[in-house]
Amino acid sequence: MSRAERAPIRVLIGKPGLDGHDRGARVIARALRDAGMEVIYTGLFQTPAMIVRAAVDEDVDVVGLSILSGAHLTLLPEIVEGIVAEGREDALIVAGGTIPPDDVQPLLDAGVTRVFGPGTPLADIVEYIREHAPSRTAESV
């Protein structure tokens, strides 16, 4: 049975680690909401394990991670590993924030699908997620 045509894409916006700035995360959450997606926001100061738990329980299609603390090379691979370990390798994992260009490739190697730098137009992020969010049509019950 195919997924209902109108079923919205579900996205978790997570703020891993110890930076207290979530304006970016909230702007993205709002933009995705306005694009017709259901956006779950975790709030600040989440550990990788908390984000993995939320992503699994909420059964999101997409995990968006906003990080400004500089700890992305430590925290993001841990989140990807956790999500895969829970059997959710189908989830699209994207990141944004202050991530230096040199760090992008290591993150992609770790399984982050895409890194959006500062200044990325919101429409680009919306379009990317729409195109790449996994579809559950193959899911059989």
Binding residues (CB under 8 A) for other proteins: these are 1, 3-4, 6-8, 10, 29-30, 32-43, 49-50, 53-54, 56-59, 86-88, 136, 139-141
Helices (H), 18-132: 23-34, 48-57, 72-85, 101-109, 122-132
Smallest separation (angstroms) from other proteins to the CB of 136: 7
Joined together, the tokens standing for residue 30 give 């709002």
- Nearer CB in complex with other proteins: 54/67: 54
Smallest separation (angstroms) from other proteins to the CB of 39: 5
DSSP 8-state secondary structure symbol assigned to residue 125: H
Smallest separation (angstroms) from other proteins to the CB of 56: 5
- Nearer CB in complex with other proteins: 83/99: 83
- Nearer CB in complex with other proteins: 59/124: 59
User: In angstroms, rounded to a whole number, what is the distance separating the alpha carbons of residues 94 and 112?
Assistant: 6
Q: Are 12 and 54 in contact (CB under 8 A)?
A: yes
Quickly tell me which residue has 């890194």 as its tokens.
115
Nearest to 107 by CA among 71, 56, 54: 71
- Nearer CB in complex with other proteins: 51/99: 51
Smallest separation (angstroms) from other proteins to the CB of 102: 33
